[in-house]
């Protein structure tokens, strides 16, 4: 089993969220960035590299998130920016 973590960052396609995602990606962590703009999410994920994927969702809508507890889906960190 890989020791690589999954880091989920809301608002990860711009500003502080993007900078945080970039730092985790450079540390060879798997990163999921979440935001509302598919175009910006795609561009950011491509810019940050193969360890980064994206999910278009609105964090104000709980129904957009099938996982609601720590460690669900292997997630170790959830950073809300």
Return the CATH number at 76.
3.40.50.720
The answer as to whether 26 is a domain residue is: yes
Spatial distance between the Cα atoms of 5 and 59, rounded to a whole number of angstroms: 21
How many structural domains are present in the chain? 1
b/e map 20-57, b = 16+ CB within 10 Å: bbbebbeeebbbbbbbeeeebbeebbeebeebbebbee
Q: Which pTM does this prediction carry?
A: 0.76
The answer as to whether 1 is a domain residue is: no
Question: Residue 59's domain spans which residues?
Answer: 6-80
The answer as to whether 65 is a domain residue is: yes
* pLDDT digit string (tens) for the chain, length 81 residues: 456 678 889 889 999 999 999 999 999 999 999 999 999 999 999 999 999 999 998 877 767 665 545 555 555 556 555
The answer as to whether 14 is a domain residue is: yes
Spatial distance between the Cα atoms of 42 and 78, rounded to a whole number of angstroms: 20
Confidence at residue 60, expressed as pLDDT on a 0 to 100 scale: 75
């Amino acid at each position: 089993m890989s020791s690589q973590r999954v880091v989920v960052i809301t608002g990860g396609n711009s500003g502080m969220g993007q900078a945080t995602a970039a730092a985790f990606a450079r540390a060879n962590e798997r990163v999921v960035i979440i935001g509302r703009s598919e175009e910006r999410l795609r561009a950011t994920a491509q810019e940050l590299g193969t360890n980064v994927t994206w999910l278009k969702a609105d964090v104000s809508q709980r129904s957009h998130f099938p996982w609601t507890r720590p460690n669900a889906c292997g997630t170790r960190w959830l950073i809300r920016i």
